[in-house]
Every structure is written in structure tokens, then in C-alpha cells.
Amino acid sequence: MYSLINEVGVRKALLAEAPPAALSLVIAELFFKFHSFTLECLCFLATWLALSSLFALAGRLWPARQEAPV
């Protein structure tokens, strides 16, 4: 995380990682009931990694809208 923030900046890192992190937290709270903090934490981190990868892939496949020249 430190390397990400150091490389791209706090604002970009937050914009890139906040949505998948929040969605992962919701998924973990709703579905992960292992009665083990370590196991639930590892599953949360794995879910965050998977969702972050999917968001990044979607961002590359779905190009940003560009303004039409005036």
C-alpha cells in the first residue's frame, strides 16, 4: 500500500482502491463467518485483490469518455 501511495499519490490511490475495498468489506461482513479473525482477514484481502483486479480490467476495457472537439 505504501508503494502504491508513494508512486501514484494519495488521491489516485484512494480513487482506485476505495470502491473495491468498500465492496469487499460489505461482502466480508455479510458472508465470511469463519469464527477466526485471521481467516476472515485473509479472505477479505483476497476478495479486495480480486475486485481490485476486476475494476482495473474494466477500466482498461471501458475507455474513458472523451470530450468532443468544439
Average pLDDT of the chain to the nearest whole number? 90
Q: Each residue of 45-67: pLDDT tens digit?
A: 999 999 999 999 998 888 766 66
Residue 38 belongs to some domain of the structure:
yes
The number of distinct structural domains making up the chain is 1
Q: Is residue 68 pLDDT above 60, yes or no?
A: no
State whether residue 23 is helix, strand or coil.
helix
Residue 20 is assigned to a structural domain of this protein = yes
> Which pTM does this prediction carry?
0.81
Please state, in angstroms and rounded to a whole number, the distance separating the CA atoms of residues 6 and 8.
6
Dihedral angle over CA of 11, 44, 49, 60, nearest 10: -70
Residue 3's pLDDT band, with cuts at 50, 70 and 90, is confident
Cα end-to-end span (Å), the chain: 41
Is residue 68 included in any domain, yes or no? no
69 in a domain, yes or no? no
Domain region containing 29: 2-60
Amino acid identity for residue 56 in this structure: A
Asked if residue 21 is part of any domain, the answer here is yes
Would you say the C-alpha torsion 45, 31, 62, 69 has a positive or negative sign? negative
Note whether residue 65 is domain-resident.
no
